[in-house]
Amino acid sequence: MKGLPNSFPLHSLLGWIQGQGVRLLNFLGLRRLERERRDLGECPPPWRAMAVACWNFPIYSHTFVYEELCRLMEAGFELRFVYSKLESREALQSRYRKLWEAKRRLRLHRVPEGADLAWFRARMPARVEDVVRRVASTGGLSEEELLARRDFREAFSFARMAAAWKPHYLHSYFFHIQSLYALVAGLLLDVPRGITCYADHMLQDYDLKLVPLHLETCRVVVATSERVKRELLELAPGTEAEKILVKPNGVDVSRFPPAESRKDPAPGEPFRLVCVSRIDPKKGLVFLAEALGLLVKQGIRVECRVLGDADEGNPLHQACKKELIERIEALGLEKVLHLEGRQGYESLLHSLHQAHLFAAPFVETPAGDKDGIPTALLEAMSTGLPVVATTAGSIPEAVADGREGLLVPQKDPAALAAAVASLLSDPQKREAMGKAAAGRVRREFDSRKREKAFHQRVLSILEKRGEA
């Protein structure tokens, strides 16, 4: 027998048998654990996933990306999250700190001379030519124009990084440069990949979005709402509908428990509204300011806290903040509408528990920018907050008018004010809607449940590929 001692003293023989028994038990225990993980929709090691979202990491508002990736890690995947510019660690919320260890920087110093493109051309010229042809054709460029672009040459540097690590699966977010990276790498290396789609597929903010080619070549397409799925199928009508998995953003409901009670304010004290959002044109905060002005004129005592800020370095967001401040001053709402900036978890949860209503005055911009199902909205609902929101984006897929809150038309301060006044005057309705909101989030948007469908879809592809 292999591993059997050369001599056979009784104590050695007993020790050898005991050792083999331990090894057998460990083996059986691992197999049992593997089966349990598979039954839960989790993956056994050693699947490796490489993901990419944006140039910068971390980005404070990307909780929806980081939640999905952390759940992927918890399901057993070894993850590499690729970025190019490192930001402050403080921008990464504490529950996503495991991503800090999974991050890997993509260095692009070899791009100008095309070294990584040349590396692939020397080893797989036919695949390189196929990638160039397909991207150029979909993007409406000549092959010479495409090869002259830095973003396209950068994709080969990302592909070489992937070739070194040998991931089993690639995943990207948004139809921007980083998804171009994943597209090129997946085709060159024959690695299955997926993409999570929010709202940017409708924007004309990048000329190589290549939505039809992404949907053709991705094995996993995640749409964060039914509306997003419909829009994707309109953009790429040849796509099989079953290929697109509708998986809205999820939240960790254990971190956002319902408030123990929400009592009406004492006489002379205001009702408390809260809005958690970036200061961004699509958030419609100027319409919220105007609605609050109308409520004040009606003699309704109310105050609202906006938790969030304009992104630094984004001129559009900074201009939006300037306009909002000017509107607050013009309406005399300095003591009513408070811009309190970004908040940590404890402060955020306290604000949600103290509030009577969550306001979501979000809009669709002329350029087509809009929300999907906002994570902040779901977190508020999880705490039992009733909602007053617009019908923008995919909000109606999370809030049914009259059940979890009230929905009003976009850019209509009068309708927004009327809905707020209606709920503030009816504590029983607020309580019923708050309970309905908390229940719906737990049924439909708990990330621990929501992510399993995504994990199972990826696992199925990898396991079939391994059997081939």
Q: Could you give the domains of the chain?
A: 48-250+447-467 (3.40.50.2000), 253-444 (3.40.50.2000)
Q: What is the model's pLDDT at position 12?
A: 47
Question: What's the CA gap between 204 and 442, in Å, rounded?
Answer: 36
Residue pair 160/185 in contact by the 8 Å Cβ criterion:
no
Q: What is the pLDDT of residue 25?
A: 44
Average pLDDT over residues 354-379: 94
Distance CA(396)–CA(399), nearest Å, equals 5
Question: Of how many residues is the chain composed?
Answer: 468
Angle among Cα 419, 283, 434 to the nearest 5 degrees reads 40
Reduced to 3 states (helix: H, G, I; strand: E, B; else coil), residue 33 is helix
Q: Residue 467 — very low, low, confident or very high, per pLDDT cuts 50/70/90?
A: low
378 and 347 in contact (C-beta within 8 Å)?
Answer: no
Place of tokens 């150029």: 136
Q: Give the pLDDT band of residue 381 (cuts 50, 70, 90).
A: very high
The tokens 């057998």 sit on which residue? Answer: 24
Q: Please, what's the largest Cα pairwise distance for the chain?
A: 97
Phi and psi torsions of 405, nearest 5°: 170, -165
For 129-143, write each residue's pLDDT tens digit: 999 999 999 999 999
Residue 453 CA to residue 220 CA, distance in Å, equals 11
Average pLDDT of span 263-286: 95
Percent of the chain whose pLDDT exceeds 90: 81
What's the rounded Cα separation, in Å, for the pair 14 and 8?
Answer: 9
- Other beta carbons within 10 angstroms of residue 190's beta carbon come to 9
Give the model's pLDDT for residue 46.
82
418, pLDDT greater than 90: yes
* Bridge partners, residue 57, by sequence: 86
Distances (CA, A) of 137 to 125, 144, 203, 212: 18, 12, 20, 11
Separation between Cα atoms, residue 366 and residue 64, nearest integer Å: 24
The confidence score (pLDDT) of residue 373 equals 94
Q: Residue 300: what residue type? A: I
For 194, the 3-state DSSP assignment is: strand
For the sheet with 271-276, list strands across it. 337-339, 302-307, 271-276, 357-360, 387-390, 405-408
Judged by average pLDDT, the poorest of 14-28, 152-166, 392-406 is 14-28
The answer to whether residue 440 scores a pLDDT higher than 60 is yes
Query: Is 153:127 a contact under the CB 8 Å cutoff?
Result: no
Q: Tell me: the pLDDT tens digits for 310-363? A: 988 889 999 999 999 999 999 999 999 999 999 999 999 999 999 999 999 999
Mean pLDDT check: name the lowest of 35-49, 239-253, 396-410. 35-49
Buried/exposed 307-345: b ≥16 CB within 10 Å, e otherwise? bbbbbeeeeebeebbeebeebbeebebeebbebeebbee
- Nearest-angstrom CA–CA distance, 135 and 15: 63
The per-residue pLDDT for 7 is 45
Residue carrying structure tokens 């699509």: 282
pLDDT in tens, 82-124: 999 999 998 898 899 999 999 999 999 888 889 999 999 999 9
What is the pLDDT at residue 110? Answer: 85
**430-441 mean pLDDT:** 98
- Please say if the pLDDT value at position 27 is more than 60: no
Say if residue 40's pLDDT is above 50: no
Lowest mean pLDDT among 3-7, 65-69, 164-168, 427-431: 3-7
Q: How far apart are CA 246 and CA 231, in angstroms?
A: 12
Helix (H, G, I), strand (E, B) or coil at 246: strand
Q: How far is CA 214 from CA 79, 183, 218, 410, in A?
A: 22, 7, 6, 32
The confidence score (pLDDT) of residue 140 equals 97
Identify the H or E element spanning 57: strand 56-57
Task: Assign 179 to helix, strand or coil.
Answer: helix
Lowest average pLDDT, out of 36-45, 178-187, 331-340, 440-449, goes to 36-45
What does the alpha-carbon distance between residue 387 and residue 375 come to, in Å, rounded to a whole number? 13
pLDDT at 278: 93
Q: State pLDDT tens for residues 148-171.
A: 999 999 999 999 999 999 999 999
pLDDT one-digit tens code per residue, 183-240: 999 999 999 999 999 989 999 999 999 999 999 999 999 999 999 999 999 999 999 9
pLDDT, position 42: 52
